[in-house]
Amino acid sequence: MDTLSRTPKQLGSALRRYRKQLGLSQTALSSRIGKRQATISTLESAGSATLDTLFAVLSALDLELSLRRRSKGVRARLEDIF
């Protein structure tokens, strides 16, 4: 399942969902990556972390980062409305 995150907070929420799907506590995840539980809590609540920490968490959750152009809303043409 792909998850779109455009803000640090959205990214943190997505990582929390994936962690919980795997049945991991914040403490268990922090042990896997050699960081404090508070670091995981900060990442999940505010999306704030170093890139090294972010990539360690992604790896521990068996996730990867993919970059793509931002999608933009498409305005309906007037003739398509009627």
Whole-structure pTM value: 0.80
Output the domain CATH number for residue 34: 1.10.260.40
| pLDDT at residue 78 tops 80 | no
Confidence of residue 14 (pLDDT cuts 50, 70, 90): very high
Instruction: Please give the average per-residue pLDDT across 53-77, as a whole number.
Output: 85
Segment 4-26 mean pLDDT: 94
Question: Exposed (0-12), middle (13-18) or buried (19+): which is 81, by Cβ within 10 Å?
Answer: exposed
Per-residue pLDDT at 80 exceeds 60: no
Read off φ and ψ for residue 47, nearest 5 degrees: 70, 15
Q: Which residue has the tokens 């793509």?
A: 68
In a domain, 71, yes or no: no
Q: How many domains are contained in the chain?
A: 1
Amino acid at 50: T
- Domain residues for the domain of 42 are 8-60
